[in-house]
Structure 1
């Protein structure tokens, strides 16, 4: 197995520039840490540790904090258990078509309105509560804040933080400091935990994009560590963590109902996101990996693979920037942020209101009556305007006729 991995996966032609071997980048104990692929195995049990820490944090810290900030959950009607409807809901579809409703009417002996109401209440029953969303956002906020603070502290005094050419000087024979090693391992373990929990987390509007982002990030962190792209990799992680802090904090205050605080944080987040993801990331980081790195070595497989993963992340940044700009437009012209277009819309449809059946029928009749009245008023106004216009035209013609 070791020979197969050495011959296929760990070929130095894939990972290292031409003329460099694995022996060339090995470091002595006093020269710093040498990145080794086996170090990545530690991230899997670390991901499980993150999941346990998250479980404890949400119940010991986040839940009392949500109550203190005034997070309120909507009151939802618990539907009666109907075996055939429950089986259809879980195995077929959450929103049955009209033909399927007709079939269910025959099977259950209920009216169409009762079945449609049952499915509406059942969908609302499965939607995550504000408390659950607050706990999830607060956990991510704590990690991103801790990671960004620790990463910035460890990088602020390094030469490559200010001059990106230092990321490639001497590559790949670059020692890795202990702080940067743990920065990498903790970030990779955290993204593994996000990917493992994606099925139980709040399902958002950009669910597929989030999965692509997690997978691309895991591949990028793992590959950059093995190929010793640690210097540029730490800058990539720092850029991403800077705006994620503001996003998660804005979500927390949104669920708590603090609208002004949420709107203020959203404006700051939008500016930071657009600056870091659409200006700094492509203008500094990707330019450094695509152009500046060629001053120090010839292109090889690792060069193309690294830049391909970075471009995938940049494409996701453009997609999220489009959603954020939509929210900015709503904020400027409507005066408030109605919902998080980027990643906090749990489903494709909006929350359905709970209404008694009689009120629902009465409300639909009132809506239809209001529409008819508005059309009648419009028609009457048009008739009055036409009469006045005709009368004026007739009056203007009378002198000529006389």
Structure 2
């Protein structure tokens, strides 16, 4: 296997500029540490360690902190157990068609209204709570904040932080310090943990874009480390972390309905995101990898592959910038956000259907409780519907759809 990898994968023309061989970049112990592909093996146990650490963090820190900030969860009706409907819900569809509802009527002996109500409440039952979304946002906030602070402290005194041409001086024979080595390993381990847990996290409308972003980021980190693009890779990670922790903090205060704090943080996030992702990233980083680097070596496969990954990230930046600008435009000129641009797929309640007319046999003694519960939920939501970050979490304005029973 090692011979096969050496023959096909680790060919010099893939990883090194023309005229340079593996023997030319060998370093002695006193010269420093040279990035080796086998170092990336440590990111897998780090990813699982992050998953365990996140589980502990959410229960010991995030949940108590959410209670301190006043995060409230919606009260949801627990559906009665109906085995046939439950089996259909899990195996077939969460939103049955009319023909499927008719078939279920024959199988269960229930009315169509009862079946529609059961599926509606069952979907709401599975939707993530505000506490769950707060815990997810607080975990990412903690990591991005620590990562950005540590990264900035480790890079601010380097020559290539201020002069990007220094990223290529002496390339590819550039030693990596222990601090930057661990910065790389922890960043890759964290993004790998996000990719492994993406199926259990809150799904959003840009779910596919998020998966592409995680995969592109992992390829970018792994390839830049193997090709010793470490200096540029560190700058890329720092640029991303600079705005990510602001977004997560704004989400946290949104779930706690701290409207003014949320709005202020979102404005700061929008400015930092647009400046770093649409100005600094393409003009400084992509320019130095595509143009400045050619002053030091001739293009090779690694040059093209690395720049393609950077361009994929830039396309995603433009996509998200468009959503943010449209969201800010609606808020500034219309005074409210009518529709979420990057919302949680599972956050929207099925409360727009008529609740009256279900009859005592349908709901029984739950009728009065449902009226109170939906009134409480509608008042709670009205506190949050003026927050700019509604556009990021899809809290729908329920005030205009209160049930007739009220």
Query: Does the pair score TM above 0.5?
Result: yes
Is 1:352 matched up with 2:338? no
Deviation for aligned residue 1:357? 3.2
Matches within 5 A, 1:193-208: 193-208=193-208
CA distance in 2, matches of 1:120, 1:159: 59
Q: Deviations over 1:220-270 (max 9, x none)?
A: 000000000000000000000001010000000000111111111111111
Whole-angstrom distance in 2 between the partners of 1:320 and 1:217: 16
More helix by share: 1
Give CA-to-partner distance per residue, 1:116-167, whole Å, 9 cap, x none.
Answer: 1111111100000000110111010000000000000010011111111111
Q: Matches of residues 317-356 of structure 1 in structure 2 within 5 Å? A: 317-336=317-336, 341-342=341-342, 344-347=343-346, 350-353=348-351
Structure 2 Cα separation of the partners of residues 99 and 317 of structure 1: 43
Name the structure 1 match of 2:114. Answer: 114
State the Cα distance separating 1:31 from its structure 2 match.
1.6
Does residue 30 of the first structure (1) align with residue 54 of the second (2)?
Answer: no
Q: Which residue of 1 aligns with 2:85?
A: 85
Q: Distance in 2 between matches of 1:339 and 1:234?
A: 36
Deviations 1:274-308 (A, max 9, x none): 11111111111111111111111111000010011
Which residue does 1:238 correspond to in 2?
Answer: 238
Give yes or no for contact 2:113–2:358 (8 Å, CA) kept in 1: no
Q: Indicate conservation of the 8 Å contact 1:72/1:130, yes or no.
A: yes
Distance, in Å, in 2 between the alignment partners of 1:83 and 1:230 is 56
Q: Mean alpha-carbon deviation: is it higher for 245-254 or for 84-93?
A: 84-93
In the TM superposition, what whole-angstrom CA distance separates every residue of 1:357-402 from its partner, at most 9, and x where no partner exists?
32689x9xxxxxxxxxxxxxxxxxxxxxxxxxxxxxxxxxxxxxxx
**Displacement of 1:346:** 2.8
Alignment-derived partner of residue 168 in structure 1: 168
Distance across 2 between alignment mates of 1:284 and 1:62: 37
- In structure 1, runs of 5+ residues without a counterpart are 364-402
Work out whether residues 161 and 235 of structure 2, in 8 Å CA contact, stay in contact via their aligned partners in 1.
yes
Q: Identify the residue that residue 310 of structure 2 maps to in structure 1.
A: 310
Question: Which of the two has higher C-alpha Rg?
Answer: 1
Distance, in Å, in 1 between the alignment partners of 2:83 and 2:334 is 45
Aligned residue in 1 for 2:45: 45
The answer to which of 108-117 and 349-358 deviates more is 349-358
1:338–1:183 Cα change, 3 Å: farther
Task: Determine whether 1:259 maps to 2:259.
Answer: yes
Q: Report the CA distance between 1:106 and its aligned residue.
A: 1.4
* SS of 1:357 mapped into structure 2: coil
How far apart are 1:336 and its partner, in Å? Answer: 4.6
Give the direction of change, closer, same or farther, for the CA distance of 1:317–1:272 in structure 2 (3 Å limit).
Answer: same
**Which portions of structure 1, spanning 4 or more consecutive aligned residues, are displaced by more than 4 angstroms?**
336-340
2:332 match: secondary structure: helix
Separation of aligned partners in 2, 1:358 and 1:340: 29
Q: Which residue is 1:379 aligned to?
A: none
For normalisation by structure 1, the TM-score amounts to 0.86
Could you tell me how far 1:112 is from its partner in structure 2? 1.2
- Other-structure match for 2:220: 220
Is this contact kept in 2: 1:37–1:226, CA < 8 A?
yes
Residues 337, 266 of structure 1: alpha-carbon distance in 2 compared, 3 angstrom cutoff: farther
The reply on whether 1:157 has 2:157 as its aligned counterpart is: yes
User: With structure 2 as the length reference, what TM-score do the two structures score?
Assistant: 0.86
Distance 2:263 2:208 in 1: 27
- Note the aligned Cα RMSD (angstroms): 1.8
Deviation at 1:355, TM superposition (A): 7.4
Q: Single out whichever of 38-47 and 100-109 deviates more from structure 2.
A: 100-109
Quote the residue 2:131 is aligned against. Answer: 131
Query: Runs of 5+ in structure 2 lacking a partner?
Result: 360-370, 372-406
| 1:177-196 superposed matches below 5 A | 177-196=177-196
